[in-house]
A and B are shown apart, each in its own frame.
Chain A
Amino acid sequence: KQEVTQIPAALSVPEGENLVLNCSFTDSAIYNLQWFRQDPGKGLTSLLLIQSSQREQTSGRLNASLDKSSGRSTLYIAASQPGDSATYLCAVIGNTPLVFGKGTRLSVIA
């Protein structure tokens, strides 16, 4: 059974810092990995999708990497802003639909 773990569970940083969020998964037989952002009480916003054949994807200040063999992904956020404050979720899709981690709650302090 696929299990997804996200570390840390919560993170607080001052504005302008670069930061890394971690995601690990137990079954490396995945097709893709997706990073989402969730604001309190809201739905999920897709940030980046990495296919299993890819090593990384970039969108603006966000860069996500994937090491399928070791079961790890990282989301790098450059020059963090207060508007980045949210919960960040990673999810993997293998032989079953998306399996999510519990998320990392990020607070960026102005």
Chain B
Amino acid sequence: DTGVSQDPRHKITKRGQNVTFRCDPISEHNRLYWYRQTLGQGPEFLTYFQNEAQLEKSRLLSNRFSAERPKGSFSTLEIQRTEQGDSAMYLCASSLGTRTEQYFGPGTRLTVT
């Protein structure tokens, strides 16, 4: 197993367009997390799944954001009608169980022009 993977690594889009990111967690991990990181800041929690169930969403996750994990394996994060303020690194992490070590992917860098 090669760890958590994310696709694409970089995305440039125009304001108002929709974008979708994918995360593939470590295969046996049942928990999957999404974070957002802006320059000079630590990552901020967005949402997490246990298997296919979305258990918690941050107030940062506006109604333009939606995340899914349909079969409890990979997850997608979609941003509709992107805004310049959405420009950030979107990080995915996975863990085995509750409150255990989280392993992060390489991130998707989003630039909204």
Q: Which residues of A contact B (CB under 8 A)?
A: 4, 31-32, 34, 36, 41-46, 49, 89, 91, 93, 96-103
B43 touching A44 by the CB < 8 A rule? yes
Interface residue B103 (Cβ < 8 Å from any Cβ of A):
yes
**Interface size grouping (class) on chain B:** 20 to 34
Q: Which of B12-20, B67-75, B105-113 contacts A (4 or more CB under 8 A)?
A: B105-113
A102 / chain B contacts, CB cutoff of 8 Å: 40-42
Which listed residue (B56, B103, B109) contacts A97, Cβ 8 A? B56
A103 touching B91 by the CB < 8 A rule? no
A99 / chain B contacts, CB cutoff of 8 Å: 45
Q: Give 23 A-B contacts (CB < 8 Å), ordered by A residue.
A: A31-B99, A32-B100, A32-B101, A34-B101, A34-B102, A43-B106, A43-B107, A44-B43, A46-B102, A46-B104, A89-B42, A91-B42, A97-B45, A97-B48, A97-B56, A98-B35, A98-B45, A98-B93, A98-B102, A99-B45, A100-B42, A102-B41, A103-B42
Interface residue B33 (Cβ < 8 Å from any Cβ of A):
yes
A4 / chain B contacts, CB cutoff of 8 Å: 42
A34 to chain B, nearest CB (A): 6
Interface residue B44 (Cβ < 8 Å from any Cβ of A):
yes
Number of A-B contacts defined by CB within 8 Å: 55
- Chain B residues 27-58 with CB under 8 Å of chain A are 33, 35, 40-45, 48, 56
A43 touching B102 by the CB < 8 A rule? no
Also in contact, A43 and B42, with CB within 8 A (given A32-B99, A97-B33)? no
A41 / chain B contacts, CB cutoff of 8 Å: 109
| Known A44-B91, A46-B104; 19 more pairs at CB < 8 Å | A31-B99, A32-B99, A32-B101, A34-B102, A41-B109, A42-B106, A43-B6, A43-B91, A43-B104, A44-B43, A45-B104, A46-B101, A96-B56, A97-B45, A97-B56, A98-B35, A98-B102, A100-B43, A102-B42
A10 to chain B, nearest CB (A): 11
B41 / chain A contacts, CB cutoff of 8 Å: 102
B105 / chain A contacts, CB cutoff of 8 Å: 43
Closest 6 CB pairs of A and B: A100-B42, A44-B104, A31-B99, A43-B106, A49-B101, A43-B104
